[in-house]
Amino acid sequence: MTGTSLLWLRQDIRLHDQPALIAAAHEGAVVPVYVLDDEAPGRWRIGGAQRWWLHHSLVSLAASLEAKGSRLILRRGSAVEALRKLAEETGASTIHAIRHYEPWWVKAEDALGDRLTLHDGNHLASLRDITTGSGGQYKVYSAFWRALNERMPPPDDQPVPHTISSPDIWPKSDKLSDWDLLPAKPDWAKGFSADWIPGEAEALRKADDFVDEVVDYEARRDLPDVEGTSRLSPHLHFGEISPATVWHKLDRGRNADKFRKEMAWRDFAASLMLQFPHYGYRNGRPAWDAMAWRRSEHDLKAWQQGRTGYPIVDAGMRQLWATGWMHNRVRMITASFLVKHLLIDWRAGERWFWDTLIDADYGNNSVNWQWVAGTGVDSNMWGRIMAPLVQSEKFDAGGYIREWVPELADIPDPWIHDPDAAGCRPDGYPPKIIGHREARERALAAGRAIR
């Protein structure tokens, strides 16, 4: 026992498999602290949907700490300044934290210097150690996965410490309600609670349920009309469950390789942030800086509101607004539509997803948008233009469309995928904002122009 330590929590809001907590508890008294820092991230301060989740996640964490005889200290402002002040108030000589890879957190970690002790725990491995033969970092996912897989399995997940010692005097804490993380009236997030329960307990339960179904994952994951995905993305983003815990739970399931590779994609995205800190707003391939993107507030708003006349696109965008989440296959379809059908800069889509997704992650959001747009260092070819009407029929999205686009609820398959062409589009549903063939030819021409 060496005295009091601060436990700095960010996107690691859990007690189970929490290496920073374990180290702090071993040293003596622990002061867990979450700092709402809107300064360091700048334009990447957490968006509206994430704030809803954060509020409820912190409520859950505070209750778990209280059950252990501890408590959660809340502060707002610069994380670096708040932690320095808390260290002075409590006499803490050490700050324990899990390593993060977002550029603003890397900068904050550097600023805290020697008093900060970092631990790995939010990814399957330490990403700085996944290097090429020459010591560089990977820019292609397939090579990254091979190198990462050689280090698997990750370390065994660790249980919650039996005891979390408290300081003699607790420092003052903000009130969570004063942070105004929840929407004011009208409550645009009122539908979130029907789909989501933030917190560590729900993350662990959901992971157990998913493992029981993982045998069907590869066959069902692309079908938006069935519950075929893990729905773990927001829990992983907020660190309510560690990737190691999920990895080891998968051991008792079958056919888990596909999901493990998707967890590795999350690590790959974070590793690209180490190499390209500005990936969220700079093209990975500079040649694409010359792209003549269209500026159309009308078309952008139609996409945001799910009023494009393409049912699968509109269903996805409406699901996103209502629930803070969108099916992964539909994310690709809607992103491709914005970038290639409407020729609108991928950064406009990134901004919208950042504010409306509960699982918006700097690495994943940036890398996935640049993959779809063809502007990333490892990305799809520009000429691969998703045909939303074909995708809708191929992945049997009729029921999904009926759920999220009620104007089309009475249209039977196969016409629901393209009611405009079938001549059965109801008056309350808009015509296509642009024809698929016209959009494709325009996109290919724009791509040729920058080559």
C-alpha 167/C-alpha 89 separation (Å) is: 11
257-275 vs 362-373: helix crossing angle, rounded to 10: 90
179 is catalytic: no
Given the residues 325, 346, 354, 382, the one annotated as active site: 346
| Phi, psi (degrees; rounded to nearest 5) at 276 | -130, 80
Given the residues 328, 393, 403, 415, the one annotated as active site: 328
The CA-based angle 173-174-180, given to 5 degrees, is 160
Given the residues 293, 403, 407, 415, the one annotated as active site: 293
Given the residues 8, 265, 288, 352, the one annotated as active site: 265
303 is catalytic: no
Name the region of 30 (left: φ>0; alpha: ψ -120 to 50; beta: rest). Answer: beta
Given the residues 81, 262, 393, 407, the one annotated as active site: 262
Q: What count of other Cβ atoms lies within 10 Å of the Cβ of residue 216?
A: 12
293 is catalytic: yes
44 is catalytic: no
C-alpha 307/C-alpha 293 separation (Å) is: 21
C-alpha 29/C-alpha 3 separation (Å) is: 6
Do 432 and 308 form a contact (C-beta atoms < 8 A)? yes
Q: Looking at the annotation, which residues are catalytic?
A: 262, 265, 293, 328, 346, 369
